[in-house]
Amino acid sequence: MVSDRTANVALIGYGVGGRFFHAPIISATRGLRLAAVVSSNADRANEARAEHPDARVVKSAEELFNDASGLDVAVISTANSAHVPLALAAIEAGLHVVVDKPIAPTSAEARRIVAEADRRKLMLTVYHNRRYDGDFLTLQRLISEHALGEIHKFESRFERWRPIPKPGWRESGDPAEAGGLLFDLGPHLIDQALVLFGTVTYVYAEIDRRRKNVEVDDDVFLALTHASGVRSHLWLSVLAAQKGPRFRVLGDRAAYTKFGMDVQEDALRRGELPRGVDWGVEPSEQWGTLGDGEDLRPVPSEPGDYRNFYAGVVAAIRDGERPPVDPRDAVAGLEIIEAARTSASERRVVAITGN
């Protein structure tokens, strides 16, 4: 734990994730200070200096860890292949750690990171920020209110229209890169399903490469059977010229249907800062609907707020509270991804025993 002083954060990686999804949230969170940024890219380093002039900018994580005095937390927002070595190095340097999803390319490597953090008594958490999307928070509220009755099916989608592959590690077929949609967006959808409905017992998957000459999956369907009896159907695609609902949740009393993505992502990409009471508030025309088909009504969306993730980091390192995302939840998600790959390759339903 740290004292009541502000905790100093080192952000490793200043690409899209680091620049738009971590740095602004860290800077807006009471109790945190963005003290250092690591980027080997000269242009990105210059952007970091311009946007966060009080932060020290260095070229490598090695340089950072060689002089980690005064730092409290390392946030890792790099290519997936670097997550494991950087997380282990940060723990060895005595820092609390936030790792972007997926925490590791395999569940075995993820368990190793968890074990090291436990051994050193350091906080470790995973940036499943989609737990703080407004639509997800709205769905949690509806479930707690029993507004849908007993839920039997949960449908969730992350769909895009990107028929032309972009260069970069996400399109690499090297398993060490953990590229493809299942590793990129799958952890979010799987994590949300686990938070809502608990342990998964069976997995069925269809994992495809639809675009020409690609090396990684770009169209994925997962069917998860939860121990609770709920079935989660999850879709991931970059070839959705027309998008389905973000959520469709079916219960024995009513259903909830929601289109469109949380407003925070676009706001952050536009350079807006997460401040003020209107942050994360969704316009009424984007609200979801609740009802039984004959009696439908719009449901005001809860405000989304990624700042609450980092507020949870502060509570964990200062007060000893549980981290905002238990890293063991991320291990369970990776076990599901591994079962999904087995299911798709062997064309069968796979039982889950580890989560």
Residue type, 288: G
Q: Is residue 329 part of a domain?
A: no
Q: What CATH number does the domain containing 261 carry?
A: 3.30.360.10
Percent of the chain, pLDDT > 70? 98
Q: Is 56 helix (H, G, I), strand (E, B) or coil?
A: strand
156: pLDDT strictly greater than 80: yes
Q: Residue 155 is inside which H or E element, if any?
A: strand 151-159
Name 177's Cβ contacts closer than 8 Å, sequence gap at least 6: 79, 80, 81, 105, 169, 170
- pLDDT at residue 353 in the model: 81
Asked whether residue 90 carries a pLDDT value surpassing 60, the answer given is yes
DSSP 195-256: HHH--EEEEEEEEE--STT-SS--EEEEEEEETTS-EEEEEEESB-SS---SEEEEESS-EE
The encoded tokens of residue 181 equal: 């949609």
DSSP state of 161: B
Q: Please report whether residue 102 resides in a domain.
A: yes
Higher pLDDT, 279 or 276: 279
CATH number at residue 33: 3.40.50.720
Instruction: Name every residue whose Cβ is closer than 8 Å to that of residue 226 and which is 6 or more positions away in sequence.
Output: 193, 197, 198, 199, 200, 201, 232
For residue 173, pLDDT beyond 70: yes
Average pLDDT of span 297-325: 97
Torsion sign, CA atoms 213, 216, 219, 225: positive
Number of domains in the chain: 2
Domain that holds residue 211: 130-304+335-351
Report the pLDDT averaged over residues 247-267: 97
Q: Measure Cα distances from 56 to 12, 49, 110, 201 in Å.
A: 12, 8, 29, 46
pLDDT tens figures, 55-84:
999 999 999 999 899 999 999 999 999 999
Same domain, residue pair 151 and 290: yes
* Mean pLDDT within 11-28: 97
Q: Give Cα 222 distance to the centre of its chain.
A: 17
Band of pLDDT at residue 294, cut at 50, 70 and 90: confident
Query: Above 90 in pLDDT, residue 127?
Result: yes
pLDDT digits (tens, 9 = 90+) for 234-250: 999 999 999 999 999 99
Q: Which two tokens stand for residue 318?
A: 């200062």
- pLDDT at residue 351 above 70? yes
Stated pTM of the model: 0.95
Based on the domain organization, do 18 and 41 belong to the same domain?
A: yes
